[in-house]
């Protein structure tokens, strides 16, 4: 799958990406679409993935004494 070049442009603000690394990333990275209100990661799971938000917003929080605590 061919990724949008925006992610490579973002990475290249911090590091130089060789053509080989771009090809390797292109093979491993995949787009994921979450619906509005969908939980990305629940508190009982260990995060094993990273996400690059292309469009939209992500809200992080946890519950303490029944109230949301924003991170």
pLDDT in tens, the chain (71 residues): 456 678 898 899 999 999 999 999 989 888 899 999 999 998 889 999 988 888 899 988 888 999 999 88
Report the DSSP beta bridge partners of residue 70.
61
Specify the pLDDT at position 55. 87
Output the six-digit token pair for 36.
């509005």
pLDDT of residue 1: 46
Distance between CA atoms of residues 39 and 62, nearest Å:
12
As beta bridge partners, residue 62 has: 69
**What pLDDT shows up at residue 3?**
63
Domain assignment of residue 14, given as a range: 6-70
Domain count, the chain: 1
Let me know if residue 17 belongs to a domain.
yes
Residue 1 lies in a domain: no
Enter the pTM of the model: 0.63
Residue 48 forms part of a structural domain: yes
Q: Pull the structure tokens for residue 39.
A: 């939980």
Pairing of strands 67-70, 61-64: antiparallel
Identify whether the C-beta of residue 29 lies closer than 8 Å to the C-beta of residue 3: yes
């Amino acid at each position: 799958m061919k990724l949008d070049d925006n992610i490579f442009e973002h990475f290249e603000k911090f590091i130089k990406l060789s053509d080989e690394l771009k090809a390797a990333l292109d093979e491993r990275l995949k787009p994921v679409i979450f619906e509005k209100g969908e939980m990305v990661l629940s508190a009982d799971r260990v995060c094993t993935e990273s996400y690059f938000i292309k469009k939209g917003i992500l809200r992080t929080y946890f519950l303490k004494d029944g109230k949301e605590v924003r991170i």
